[in-house]
């Protein structure tokens, strides 16, 4: 009986670890809200433009970055530098988190993977958190987004 209980607990733990990103798709246009690695995000697509807003706190030294290393970003994709907006906070309060915003444009049909990293820019090896968006573009419009 104890072996069976331990086995069931092990299976539950494995399943919980495997499900690190949750999404919900709004039916009015292409809009996706969810959570990945405990960071809430919101994705909105209009035509060939996509906006990603994702939680973060740069006061810790960490920031979200789009991985643009050689081969990681298709040449038909244009991404602006991310902006950051702090959440509302009482006056004089420091260390408050907010949202990083990415604006990304696509210029051709296809399926594209965008890899985002949450890390310290000066130490990319310090256990970064990764989030990948797979974006499907058909007929001059974004038709799907999957978060991994």
Read off the CATH number of the domain in which 112 is found. 2.60.40.2020
Whether 107 is in a domain gets the answer: yes
Q: Is position 16 within any domain?
A: no
Q: Mean pLDDT across the stretch 18-31?
A: 59
Residue 119, in any domain of the structure: yes
Q: What is the arithmetic mean of pLDDT over 49-75?
A: 93
As a whole number, mean pLDDT of residues 58-83 equals 92
Is position 11 within any domain? no
pLDDT bucket at 25, cuts 50 / 70 / 90 = low
Residue 38, pLDDT score = 95
Per-residue burial over 52-63, b = 16 or more CB atoms within 10 Å of its CB, e = otherwise: bbbbbbeeeebb
Question: Mean pLDDT across the stretch 122-140?
Answer: 92
Q: What is the rounded CA–CA span in Å between residue 116 and residue 139?
A: 26
- Residue 2 covered by a domain: no
pLDDT of 114 reads: 97
Structure confidence at residue 111 as a pLDDT band (50, 70, 90): very high
48 CB burial (10 A radius; 0-12, 13-18, 19+): middle
Whether 72 maps to a domain, the answer reads yes
Domain total for the chain? 1
Residue 12 maps to a domain: no
Residue 110: domain span: 21-87+97-147
Q: Average per-residue pLDDT in the chain?
A: 84
In the prediction, which pLDDT does 130 show?
Answer: 95
pLDDT over threshold 80, residue 42? yes
Take residue 60 and report the two structure tokens written for it. 């810790």
DSSP 24-79: EEETTTEEEEEEETTEEEEEEEETTEEEEEEEE-GGGT-EEEE--STTTS-TTEEE
Confidence of residue 1 (pLDDT cuts 50, 70, 90): low
**Residue range 9-14: average pLDDT?**
36
Instruction: Give percent above pLDDT 70 in the chain.
Output: 80
Residue-level pLDDT at 23: 57
44 in a domain, yes or no?
Answer: yes
């Amino acid at each position: 009986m104890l072996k069976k209980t331990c086995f069931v607990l092990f299976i539950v733990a494995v399943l919980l670890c495997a499900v690190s990103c949750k999404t919900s798709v709004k039916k009015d246009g292409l809009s996706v809200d969810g959570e990945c690695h405990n960071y809430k995000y919101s994705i909105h697509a209009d035509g060939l433009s996509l906006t990603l807003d994702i939680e973060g706190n740069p006061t810790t030294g960490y920031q979200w970055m789009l991985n643009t290393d050689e081969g990681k970003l298709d040449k038909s994709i244009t991404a602006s530098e991310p902006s950051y907006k702090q959440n509302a906070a009482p006056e004089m309060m420091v260390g408050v988190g907010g949202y990083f915003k990415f604006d990304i444009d696509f210029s051709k049909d296809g399926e594209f993977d965008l890899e985002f990293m949450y890390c310290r820019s000066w130490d990319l090896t310090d256990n970064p958190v990764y989030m990948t968006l797979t974006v499907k573009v058909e007929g001059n419009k974004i038709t799907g987004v999957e978060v991994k």
